[in-house]
């Protein structure tokens, strides 16, 4: 095999541009992806990473690589390959993909971080310890402490044990403990007390055993086997399977990534993994968006240096620099949060499958309501479907009642129906019995629009073509698209009429209705407004778990991944708005949300009950959810998608233009569409561009071109050149979203 002749590198300081060099003969065969190199730079030499091996360099005159620096590449080779895949598939350049993979704190501060002492017991020194520590009480205590903890930061050991510094130093001097310098990280938080099965291992049920067998067999195949689609009803023990799979790969000395939706990254979830791993002395690293820059850098190095072998986190945790990867778990794989909203607009679930393939790692995608994309992949046997049909301990799925709001008596105040008689009664009963309830309304604020009944004026955002939401808690109108806000008007700014009408409902209005209907009830409202403070989310969940609140009401925040055995009633208030969104996935999303939230009821011994209030009781998403009929919904929905050529049958690419001038933006996107038509002829149908459903955001006019295509990569070069390449007028932005999820 011929060795590559050229290498493309990313300079260590700043990854904004890539440069090509020639590989001199004496370095042939020695440069791997991710390798750190010394390359000439003007009159100096700098450090850079090998990120690609182009067949031809981009410039004519290339200089030679000077040397290989250090034996370990900063970026594992697998991630370099992943970056290349991202750049090819998601229409971004390689530097942008690398920037996504290599977090800012690491790039800007390579090798930084405070150094500190790490103390570890030396294995096999028990006898010696027994001999030499006789009579040295404090040292003996320190030794016991160290053995139990398995090692720790010097300062943390001293602080937590209350044993003086001299004793620890003595252990090192006597050869019982070893001291090393490491980059300092904060001590791990203690596992949350009170989580019932932290560390305990239940015996697997029949379906779980069968599931584990299928997984073992599949991953034994070449390259880690196909991805597993673990399709199990809520509470069927999917997480238990993740844990077992995790244990299996760890026992082989491999590493693993567990992805969860950001919102499920609660202390409860983390504690469950931590509890189980503690038994194996495996360090778990949690990555989340609230981490400080320093914390992120520390985590990254901890992972890179192999000290943490399991990483759990949201979307971006997929890029954890682990080597020897054995398993990637994507929990709630259907969750929209896995798609990144800005460039590169990657989907972490799909990238998980790609990374698994690159590294020969097994991939488990789990959900009670898999995305149609994954389900279809399983139908075609690209993924292996493993099902858990029963809840653990035979708990029954809750009974779902549809409440037809058309038949409900309207409140005298003129507002919308918030709590139907049936739901109100059920909530009241639950409270009397000391059981708990959840009430979901996926919209924050008090009322999504304010209108004057006299002149018809609607309070709109000045910069976006949407009504502003009235937030009663602080008396302000807020735009949920650009965060603009202003005081709520007392009278109509148009005609001066004092009778403004609040239309529709958000969580604040629901809260008001609950408090009114159930005097003395203990409740918490959970949405991104009320849970802003750091730790508020965890605190609210703890209060609920300990039975200090009766009702948890809020947005989809309450729908995910929570396990509260005492919840026996779930109310869903208002799904109609979500059903009528101009998005082909609207039904799928509502169905998933309903099944997920219904799954929160009756996870203990007492059966649960769910109430869904709606004006469209016969909508298929609602009817199928009522019967927990995932297969039925899928079948019908796939038929509809097929008829229209929507994903998963074809791939959706959304091209968007936005700019300050409506005419200019419209003309630019039309021009682009025209050019693409010329290029592609009959190969791809290019429709007329149209105004986006939300036609203006932050003062910019938005237009879209929605493509349905069979294959993505072959179109990418054209799209990069025609959409991303041109210099558009000042203030105009154009982008390409492959496998678009957000069509608004």
Residue 197 binds ligand ADP (CB under 6 A):
yes
The answer to whether 611 touches 598, Cβ cutoff 8 Å, is no
Residue 236 binds ligand ADP (CB under 6 A):
yes
Rounded Cα–Cα distance for residues 316 and 64 (Å) = 35
Residue 392 binds ligand ADP (CB under 6 A):
yes
**Mapping DSSP to helix (H, G, I), strand (E, B) and coil, where does residue 640 land?**
helix
CB of 238: closest distance to ligand ADP in angstroms? Answer: 3
Comparing CB distances to Zn ion, the nearer of 95 and 695 is: 695
Binding to ligand ADP in span 544-563, by CB under 6 A: 563
Comparing CB distances to Zn ion, the nearer of 386 and 479 is: 479
The answer to whether 264 touches 258, Cβ cutoff 8 Å, is no
Rounded Cα–Cα distance for residues 247 and 239 (Å) = 12
CB of 477: closest distance to Zn ion in angstroms? Answer: 10
Nearest to 515 by CA among 484, 463, 550: 550
Residue 467 binds ligand ADP (CB under 6 A):
no
Among 116, 204, 482, 724, binds ligand ADP (CB under 6 A): 204
Comparing CB distances to ligand ADP, the nearer of 545 and 702 is: 545
Among 35, 81, 161, 208, binds ligand ADP (CB under 6 A): 208
Strands 449-451 and 436-440, sheet pairing: unpaired
Among 36, 226, 238, 349, binds ligand ADP (CB under 6 A): 238
Contacted entry of ligand ADP, Zn ion, none for residue 420, CB cut-off 5 to 8 Å set by kind: none
Contacted entry of ligand ADP, Zn ion, none for residue 238, CB cut-off 5 to 8 Å set by kind: ligand ADP
Reading the block at residue 277, the tokens are 């791993």
Comparing CB distances to ligand ADP, the nearer of 125 and 563 is: 563
Contacted entry of ligand ADP, Zn ion, none for residue 239, CB cut-off 5 to 8 Å set by kind: ligand ADP
Comparing CB distances to Zn ion, the nearer of 138 and 691 is: 691
Rounded Cα–Cα distance for residues 547 and 362 (Å) = 39
CB of 561: closest distance to ligand ADP in angstroms? Answer: 8
Comparing CB distances to ligand ADP, the nearer of 240 and 588 is: 240
Q: Which stretch binds ligand ADP (CB under 6 A): 233-241, 375-383, 516-524, 549-557?
A: 233-241
Comparing CB distances to Zn ion, the nearer of 350 and 529 is: 529
The answer to whether 100 touches 319, Cβ cutoff 8 Å, is yes
**Owner of token pair 């931590």:** 274
Angle (nearest 5°) at CA 743 between 739 and 744: 160
Rounded Cα–Cα distance for residues 236 and 202 (Å) = 13
Residue 240 binds ligand ADP (CB under 6 A):
yes
DSSP 8-state code for residue 183: E
Comparing CB distances to ligand ADP, the nearer of 68 and 392 is: 392
Comparing CB distances to ligand ADP, the nearer of 232 and 467 is: 232
The answer to whether 447 touches 418, Cβ cutoff 8 Å, is no
Residue 200's CB is within 10 A of a number of other CB atoms, namely 9
Contacted entry of Zn ion, ligand ADP, none for residue 205, CB cut-off 5 to 8 Å set by kind: ligand ADP
Q: Which stretch binds ligand ADP (CB under 6 A): 202-210, 248-256, 500-508, 587-595?
A: 202-210
Angle (nearest 5°) at CA 32 between 27 and 35: 90
CB of 500: closest distance to Zn ion in angstroms? Answer: 8
Residues found near Zn ion in the complex (CB under 5 A): 452, 454-455, 457, 461, 463-464, 479, 481-482, 484, 492, 494-495, 497
The answer to whether 438 touches 571, Cβ cutoff 8 Å, is yes
Distance of alpha carbon 568 from its chain centroid, rounded? 28
Rounded Cα–Cα distance for residues 536 and 538 (Å) = 6
Residue 391's CB is within 10 A of a number of other CB atoms, namely 19
Q: Per-residue contact track with ligand ADP, 154 to 193, x per CB under 6 A?
A: ----------------------------------------
Contacted entry of ligand ADP, Zn ion, none for residue 464, CB cut-off 5 to 8 Å set by kind: Zn ion
| Ramachandran quadrant class, 601 (left: phi over 0; alpha: psi -120 to 50; beta: rest) | beta
Paired strand residues for 313:
259, 287
CB of 600: closest distance to ligand ADP in angstroms? Answer: 10
CB of 468: closest distance to Zn ion in angstroms? Answer: 7
Q: Which stretch binds ligand ADP (CB under 6 A): 57-65, 198-206, 210-218, 703-711?
A: 198-206
Comparing CB distances to ligand ADP, the nearer of 349 and 443 is: 349
DSSP 8-state code for residue 575: -
Q: Which stretch binds ligand ADP (CB under 6 A): 108-116, 230-238, 344-352, 736-744?
A: 230-238
The answer to whether 220 touches 360, Cβ cutoff 8 Å, is no
- Residue 186, φ and ψ in degrees, nearest 5: -60, 150
Residue 741 binds ligand ADP (CB under 6 A):
no
> How many amino acids of this chain bind ligand ADP (CB under 6 A)?
16
Q: Per-residue contact track with ligand ADP, 335 to 374, x per CB under 6 A?
A: ----------------------------------------
Number of residues in the chain? 744
HSE toward the beta carbon, residue 247, CA cutoff 13 A? 16
Q: Per-residue contact track with ligand ADP, 563 to 582, x per CB under 6 A?
A: x-------------------
Residue 333 binds ligand ADP (CB under 6 A):
no
CA distances from 97 to 103, 222, 343, 659 (A): 11, 28, 9, 25
3-state secondary structure 533-559: CCCHHHHHHHHHHCCCCCEEEECHHHC
Comparing CB distances to ligand ADP, the nearer of 126 and 197 is: 197
Reading the block at residue 240, the tokens are 């238990």
CB of 452: closest distance to Zn ion in angstroms? Answer: 3
CB of 240: closest distance to ligand ADP in angstroms? Answer: 4
**Mapping DSSP to helix (H, G, I), strand (E, B) and coil, where does residue 228 land?**
strand
Q: Which stretch binds ligand ADP (CB under 6 A): 200-208, 425-433, 476-484, 648-656?
A: 200-208
Helix (H) or strand (E) holding 477: strand 476-478
Nearest to 262 by CA among 291, 297, 288, 243: 288
CB of 123: closest distance to ligand ADP in angstroms? Answer: 33
**Owner of token pair 């009821």:** 601
Residue 501's CB is within 10 A of a number of other CB atoms, namely 16
Comparing CB distances to ligand ADP, the nearer of 139 and 371 is: 371
Rounded Cα–Cα distance for residues 378 and 333 (Å) = 13
Residue 207 binds ligand ADP (CB under 6 A):
no
Residue 237 binds ligand ADP (CB under 6 A):
yes
Residue 379 burial (10 A CB sphere; 0-12, 13-18, 19+)? middle
Comparing CB distances to Zn ion, the nearer of 158 and 465 is: 465
Rounded Cα–Cα distance for residues 706 and 368 (Å) = 30
Binding positions for ligand ADP, rule: CB under 6 A: 197, 202-205, 208, 232, 234-240, 392, 563
């Amino acid at each position: 095999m011929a060795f590559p002749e050229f290498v493309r590198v990313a300079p260590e300081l700043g990854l904004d541009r890539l440069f090509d060099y020639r590989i001199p003969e004496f370095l042939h065969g020695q440069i791997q992806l991710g390798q750190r190199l010394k390359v000439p730079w003007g009159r100096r030499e700098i450090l850079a990473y090998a990120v690609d091996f182009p067949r031809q360099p981009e410039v004519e005159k290339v200089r030679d690589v000077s040397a290989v620096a250090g034996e370990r590449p900063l970026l594992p080779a697998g991630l370099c390959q992943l970056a290349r895949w991202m750049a090819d598939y998601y229409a971004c350049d390689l530097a942008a993909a690398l920037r996504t993979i290599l977090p800012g704190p690491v790039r800007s501060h390579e090798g930084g971080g405070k150094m500190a002492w790490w103390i570890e017991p030396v294995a096999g020194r028990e006898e010696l310890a027994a001999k030499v520590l006789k009579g040295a009480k404090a040292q003996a205590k320190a030794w016991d402490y160290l053995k139990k903890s398995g090692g720790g930061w010097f300062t943390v050991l001293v602080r937590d044990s209350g044993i003086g510094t001299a004793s620890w130093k003595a252990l090192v001097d006597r050869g019982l403990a070893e001291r090393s310098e490491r980059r300092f990280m904060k001590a791990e938080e203690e596992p949350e007390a009170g989580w019932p099965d932290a560390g305990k291992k239940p015996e697997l049920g029949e379906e779980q055993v069968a599931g584990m067998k299928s997984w073992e067999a599949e991953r034994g195949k070449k390259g880690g086997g196909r991805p597993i689609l673990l399709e199990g009803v809520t509470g069927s023990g999917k997480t238990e399977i993740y844990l077992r799979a995790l244990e299996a790969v760890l026992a082989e000395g491999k590493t693993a990534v567990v992805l969860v939706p950001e919102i499920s990254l609660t202390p409860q979830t983390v504690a469950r993994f931590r509890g189980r791993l503690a038994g194996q002395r495996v360090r778990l690293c949690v990555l989340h968006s609230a981490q400080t820059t320093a914390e992120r850098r520390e985590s990254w190095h901890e992972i890179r240096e192999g000290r943490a072998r399991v990483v759990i986190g949201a979307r971006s945790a997929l890029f954890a620099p682990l080597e020897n990867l054995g398993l990637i778990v994507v929990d709630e794989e259907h969750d929209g949060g896995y798609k990144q909203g800005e460039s590169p607009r990657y989907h972490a679930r799909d990238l998980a499958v790609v990374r698994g393939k690159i590294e020969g790692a097994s991939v488990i995608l789990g959900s009670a309501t898999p995305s149609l994309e994954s389900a279809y992949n399983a139908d075609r046997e690209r993924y292996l479907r493993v099902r858990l049909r029963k809840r653990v301990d035979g708990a029954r799925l809750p009974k779902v009642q549809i409440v037809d709001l058309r038949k409900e008596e309207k409140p005298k105040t003129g507002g919308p129906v918030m709590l139907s008689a049936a739901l109100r009664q059920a909530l009241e009963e639950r409270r009397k019995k000391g059981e708990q309830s959840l009430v979901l309304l996926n919209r924050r604020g008090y009322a999504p629009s304010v209108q004057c009944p006299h002149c018809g004026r609607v309070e709109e955002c000045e910069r976006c073509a949407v009504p502003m939401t009235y937030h009663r808690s602080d008396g302000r109108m807020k735009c949920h698209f650009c965060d603009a806000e202003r005081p709520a008007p007392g009278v109509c700014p148009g005609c001066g009429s004092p009778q403004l009408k609040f239309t529709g409902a958000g969580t604040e209005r629901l809260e008001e209705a609950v408090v009114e209907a159930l005097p003395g009830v203990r409740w918490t409202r959970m949405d991104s407004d009320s849970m802003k403070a750091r730790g508020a989310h965890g605190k609210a969940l703890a209060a609920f778990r300990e039975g200090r609140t009766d009702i948890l009401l809020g947005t989809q925040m309450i729908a995910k991944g929570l396990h509260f055995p005492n919840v026996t009633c779930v109310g869903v208030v208002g799904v109609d708005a979500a059903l009528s969104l101009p998005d082909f996935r609207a039904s799928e999303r509502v169905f998933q949300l309903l099944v997920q939230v219904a799954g929160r009821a009756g996870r203990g011994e007492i059966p649960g009950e769910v109430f869904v209030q709606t004006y469209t009781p016969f909508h298929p998403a609602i009817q199928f959810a009522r019967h927990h009929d995932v297969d039925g919904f899928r079948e019908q929905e796939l038929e509809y998608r097929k008829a229209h050529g929507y994903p998963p049958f074809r791939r959706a690419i959304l091209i968007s233009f936005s700019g300050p001038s409506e005419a200019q933006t419209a003309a630019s996107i039309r021009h682009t569409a025209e050019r693409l038509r010329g290029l592609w002829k009959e190969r791809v149908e290019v429709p007329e561009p149209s105004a986006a459903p939300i036609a203006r955001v932050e003062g910019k006019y938005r237009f879209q071109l929605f493509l349905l295509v069979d294959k993505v990569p072959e179109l990418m070069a054209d799209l990069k050149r025609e959409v991303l390449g041109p210099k558009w007028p000042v203030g105009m932005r154009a982008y390409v979203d492959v496998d678009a999820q957000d069509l608004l």
